[in-house]
Amino acid sequence: MQLGLKIVRKTTLGLLIGMFLIASVSCQSVDTRSTSQVAPNSEQGYQLGPEDVLLISVWKDEHLTREVVVRPDGLISFPLVGDVPAEGRTVEELRIDLAKRLIKYIPAVNLTVAVIKPLSYKVYVVGRVTKPGEFLVGHYTDVLQALSLAGGLTPFAAENDIKIVRRVMGQQQTFPFRYSDVRKGIDLEQNIILQRGDVVMVP
């Protein structure tokens, strides 16, 4: 009888441990998904934008090796194929598209695309900061870093009424930013990574 009770207890304990482990794994999966949604999507690589200067080289063809600039409409112009969408694409995506278009004229085309002047990642800081203006940034920048580039807030700035203005598909979006909270380590998710063209407004 005692032997039977011991077996039941061990079996019950094993089931409880198993259920605990399964619950732990489930919680970890949820945390990972939520983190990936907040983190900036930089794994795809640099996305091209207006004013970026590219060097497109076609192997063994000097006439098809040239610098091109991404126009304000997001297109580039290239011989034989005309206008090609570039804005929002990575270098590799653009290279593949160009190769598909050129293969009609050049069998087994071999080309490379390189960004020689990344000029499109600009952010703007306006209002009550020491140095308001346009900032050409060579790396992904968050709100605090942008405010630092602008020399910080002036003494009369409304530090808890800061807004980030972003234009998406022709529509404006705003994101609140409470400087004093972030400075205290509260609600750090407000310190978002800025996208090109974002405007940080400090009243």
Which tens digit of pLDDT belongs to each residue from 93-126?
999 999 999 999 998 899 999 999 999 999 999 9
Structure tokens at 28: 């970890």
What fold does the segment set 53-117 form as a domain?
A: wza like fold (3.30.1950)
pLDDT digits (tens, 9 = 90+) for 19-28: 333 333 333 3
At 8 the pLDDT is: 39
Domain range list for the chain: 53-117, 122-202
User: CB neighbours of 144 closer than 8 A, spacing ≥ 6?
Assistant: 182, 191
Rg (CA), the chain: 26
68/78 Cα distance (integer angstroms): 8
pTM over 0.85: no
Superfamily of domain 122-202: Outer membrane lipoprotein wza domain like (3.10.560.10)
* Residue with the larger pLDDT of the pair 107 and 135: 135
Q: Is the pLDDT of residue 39 over 60?
A: no
